[in-house]
Every structure is written in C-alpha cells, then in structure tokens.
Amino acid sequence: MTEHNNVQTLNQFIIQRQSDHPGAKGELSRLLHHVGIASKIVNRAVNKAGLVDILGEHGDRNVQGEDQQKLDVFADTHFIDALKACGECCAVASEENEDIIIFDDELSKHGKYVFAMDPLDGSSNIDVNVSIGTIFSIYERISPRGEIAKIEDFLQDGTKQVAAGYIIYGSSTMLVYTTGKGVNGFTLDPSIGEFCLSHPNIKTPKTGSIYSINEGNYINFPSGVKKYIKYCQEFDKKSNRPYTSRYIGSLVADFHRNLLNGGIFIYPQTRKNPNGKLRLMYECNPIAFIAEQAGGKATDGNQRILTIQPTSLHERVPFYTGSTNMVKKTEEFLHFFNNI
C-alpha cells in the first residue's frame, strides 16, 4: 500500500460500525482498539524474532502440557497488559494459563466484557519462520458489573460471542474479525503503522479444492475421516477432484487460506486424543463464528460448534470447518461410516 487517501483504518472502521449495534456506547470499540495495539506489539516481536533473544523454548509447560515458546509468553503478557489497560475487560482466559486472569481494579471490575484467547497459535512453527497467529473471542459477562468476574462468564456457548477474530503474522500481517455483521480483514501497513481495510465483507466459497489435515495421523483417524480423505484424492472431473492437500500446522494460517480460497480444515478425534485436540473456547468457537459469518460452516462432526455448551475452560473438541458444501460432505461420511 502506497496510496492512503482512500484507505480506511481499523479504528475508523470500528467507530463507523458502532451503528450496527443499537445502544452501543463505544465499549466494544475501545476493546477492539486495544486488541489492535497488542497485535502490533506482537507483530514487531515476531518480525524481529531472528534478531533478538526471543526464539526457542521458554523452559516451562502450559496447562495443556505443551512446551511454551518465548514468543508464547511474550504474546500472552502483552495482550493481557493491553486488555487490562483498556478498562473494558474484566477478565481474560488464555490457553497459556490454567485459571482465568481477573482484573480486580475498580475500572476493570466495571468492564462489560471477558476475553478468551490463544495468544500465539502455531507456536511450533516459530523457530522455522512459518506463519503463526493470535485467535480471540469476546463475550459479555453474565456476572454483575462492579463485581469480580467469575469462570461462568466464560462458560457460554459460542452463539453468545459478541466479537471474534484472529491476527495472522505472515508475509503480511492481517487482522480479521467479526461482530456478527459479516467478516472484514485489515492488513497492517508498516509505512503508517495502521491496519487498513483490505478485505471487506469476506465471503468464503461454498466449495473449494483444498483439504487441510495432518495425514501423518491417518492410522488413528475415525473411519469416516479416512473415507473422506480417499474421496478427496479420487479423480472426478464433475466435482473437480482430486482436491489439493495443504497443511501448515497453524490453525490460523490453514483456516485463513481456506476462508479466502475455499476449502476445509479438519482436526478430528484420534486414538491419542479421543475428544480432539483443539480448544473449544480459544480456537474453535472464534473460528466457527468467523466461518459462519463468512458463509461457511463449523461442526464437531455431530453438531454445530457454536451450540456446544462448554463445561470447562480448556475443553477440547473435534473440529471441521470451511466451505459449507465440503463440511456437509464430511458430515455425510462421518455419519455413515462411523456408524457401521
């Protein structure tokens, strides 16, 4: 981007779209503004990762039992700091922390929202310079404003989300988000330090030619998933098969490509992870909200992701999302072959 005369920045767009929500007082707008600030700080660290001592393992494990990377901790810390500073958020749930982080200062206790996040998705790709991202989800609290937030504020089904989005740190840095009125994407212009509207009103194709799954786990997949993979690989001129297999190993990166080009992302249950591996609160709910708002679909194989009632903060579920026709076809295979 070299011409800025007609470019709409993220902050301008957020303020303009407040009218989509009658009675809005600017609280969500301020919260989203601070999300943008935190993402710029993390983006700067990602871009300098090979030049400063921020690559490699941190030396600890998170609540998931996964080795924390230094950038995981950096992203987690800076998003939490930005959210606390905005005063509109009363608590944060992060993949990197076992319990919710409660902001107990007087300003934050009156905050209207709670914030769930995977601060750095795809962190196993950090050291090899492959795209990574941040995923976030925003809910209105159900506990009274002015009191300390409770875990029940987070254990709401995905239909209760008021906003969700992700930031992808790749060849360019993009912030994609929805407030339930469509999906819009903003690319960070480093020359002015602003996210600028680059992908308005994103609509994902009804079908595509890409399937994204870690086929290295094939032997451990349910029968329906194995049969669907074989279906993807078969030649059929009418349905434009065989499809292309593309798997980066970062949910944000795989989903973002399929969102724009058409495709399906699959992370099923396996023998090792019978409930799936992706987290409902931090990954599946926000991505599902975006997928549906863009005209796509998201399911655990049996039901719509957004209708699943969470029972714990770090709950895991199988995940199938992307182009509607491809997700429906996958469900057909799951329902038929898994019941044999």
Q: Under a CB-based contact definition with an 8 Å cutoff, are residues 244 and 210 in contact?
A: yes
Contact 189, 1 (CB under 8 A): yes
Residue 178 and residue 289 in contact, taking contact as beta carbons nearer than 8 Å:
yes
The CA distance from 200 to 193, in Å, is: 20
- Return d(Cα 280, Cα 274) in angstroms, integer: 14
**Burial category of 180 from C-beta neighbours within 10 Å (exposed 0-12, middle 13-18, buried 19 and up):** middle
Amino acid letter, 244: T
Q: Is 282 left (phi over 0), alpha (psi -120 to 50) or beta?
A: alpha
Burial of 191 (0-12, 13-18, 19+ CB in 10 A): exposed
Q: Regarding beta strands 278-279 and 316-317, do their DSSP bridges make them parallel or antiparallel, or are they unpaired? A: antiparallel
The annotation status of 124 as a binding-site residue, yes or no, is yes
Does 109 carry a binding-site annotation? no
247 annotated to bind ligand? yes
Distance CA 1, CA 17 (A): 23
123 known member of a binding site: yes
Annotated binding residue at 60? Answer: no
Residue 112 annotated as binding site: no
Which residues pair with residue 15 across a beta bridge? none
Q: Is 275 annotated as a binding residue?
A: no
Q: How many residues does the chain have?
A: 340
Cα–Cα dist 180/191, whole Å:
31
Asked whether the beta carbons of 114 and 136 are under 8 A apart, the reply is: no
Q: Is 96 annotated as a binding residue?
A: no
State how far the Cα of 88 lies from the Cα of 84, in Å rounded to an integer.
8
Helix 223-233 vs helix 324-337: angle between axes, to the nearest 10 degrees? 130
Q: Is residue 322 annotated as involved in ligand binding?
A: no
Give the residue ranges of the annotated binding site for substrate.
121-124, 214, 247, 277
Instruction: Write out the binding residues for Mg(2+).
Output: 95, 118, 120-121, 283
Task: Pick out the residues of the known binding site.
Answer: 95, 118, 120-124, 214, 247, 277, 283
